[in-house]
Amino acid sequence: MRFPADPDDPDHPATTGVRPFLRATGPGVPHDPPPAQLPGPAPGEPPPGEHATALRPFVITSGRVAAADPDIGLETQVSAHPGAASARLSPEQRAIVHLCGEPLSVAEISARLRLHFGVTRILVGDLRAAGHLDVHVLENDFPDPETIMRVIRGLRSIS
C-alpha cells in the first residue's frame, strides 16, 4: 500500500491534517544508518561490531533483507507441513518448524524465538518454498463485513 499523497510534494501540498510538527523547526534528523537495504559486506562498511545490532540478525538469512514475501504479515498463520524431513535445516529453521505444530502467527514465532521479525519472515518464506511450512495467506486485503461482525460479537461477549 502506498500513501495517497506525499505531504512533502510541492505540487500537492498537504491541506487537511497538517499538524504542527510538520511545520515545526528543530534539529535535523540524523542520517547515520545507511539508506536501508543490503547489509551484506560492502566496501566502506564499518567492521562487524560497530553496527552489529542492526546487521547481525540478517547473517541468519545469508544477508538477505529485501526478498521478504509481502504475503507474510505479522498476523499470518503458519503451520508445519507434516512429514517434511528437517535434516538439512539450520537451527533457527528447525526451531520454527518445531514451534508450528499448531498454527502460529509469524509475530509469535518472532517473539518466542527472539528473532527479528524481518529475519523470521525471510526464514518462514524459505521454509514455505522448501515445503516445510504451510503459510495460510488470506485472499482479500481488508476483512469482509461478516468477519468484522463476528469480531464485534466476540468482543462484546468479553466481560
Partner 1 sequence: MDFDPFPDRRVVGTARVPGAPQRTAPPVPVKIIVAGGFGVGKTTTVGAISEISPLTTEAEMTMESVGVDDPGQATAKTTTTIAMDFGCVTIDQTLKLYLFGTPGQSRFAFMWDDLVRGALGALVVVDTSRIDDCYPAVDYFERAGLPFVVGVNTFNGQAGYNLDEVRWALAVREDVPVLQFDARFRGSVRDALLVVLDQALDKAMRMRSS
Give the Å distances, CA to CA, from 56 to 4, 27, 35, 59, 84: 35, 30, 17, 5, 29
Residue choice 11, 26, 88, 91 for contact with partner 1 (CB under 8 A): 26
**Shorter beta-carbon distance to partner 1: residue 18 or 129:** 18
Q: Site residues for partner 1, window 95-124 (CB under 8 A)?
A: 102-103, 105, 107-108, 110-112, 116-118, 120
Strand partners, 105: 77
By CB under 8 A, is residue 36 in contact with partner 1? Answer: yes
Residue pair 131/73 in contact (Cβ under 8 Å)? The answer is no
Task: Pick the closer one to partner 1 by CB: 32 or 41.
Answer: 32
Beta bridge partners, 80, equal: 133
d(CA 135, CA 22): 40
Residue number, 47 or 158, with CB nearest to partner 1: 158
128-to-6, 40, 56, 80 alpha-carbon distances in Å: 36, 24, 23, 9
The residue ranges that bind partner 1 (CB under 8 A) are 1-5, 7-8, 16-17, 19-29, 31-33, 35-36, 53-54, 65, 70, 73-79, 82-83, 102-103, 105, 107-108, 110-112, 116-118, 120, 134, 136, 138, 141-145, 147-152, 154-156, 158-159
